[in-house]
Amino acid sequence: VLTVVFVSVPLFIYKARKPHWKDPAVTDFAPFTWEIEDIHPGVINPSDKATHTLHNAK
């Protein structure tokens, strides 16, 4: 009985969703960091110095 409830409730919500929940005209998708071209998905450098200068400044 619980299996039927846990399977049917999300399917009902999916079927009853309103069309304005997803606007196809909106293109404000934010890609993941590894999907952005020419950017290394490593450590973020929050300072104004380049990463190689931070490594050499001991």
Tell me the pLDDT tens digit for each residue of 2-48: 999 999 999 998 888 776 666 667 666 666 666 666 666 565 656 56
Residue 2 lies in a domain: no
Q: What is the Cα–Cα distance from 14 to 29, expressed in whole angstroms? A: 21
Q: How many domains does the chain have?
A: 1
| 45 φ, ψ (degrees, to nearest 5) | -100, 100
> Domain containing 28: what range?
22-58
In 1-58, which residue ranges form alpha helices assigned H by DSSP? Answer: 2-16, 51-56
Are 47 and 54 in contact by the 8 Å Cβ rule? The answer is yes
Look at residue 1 and tell me whether its pLDDT is greater than 70. yes
Q: pTM of whole model > 0.75?
A: no
pLDDT for the residue numbered 13: 87
Residue 38 lies in a domain: yes
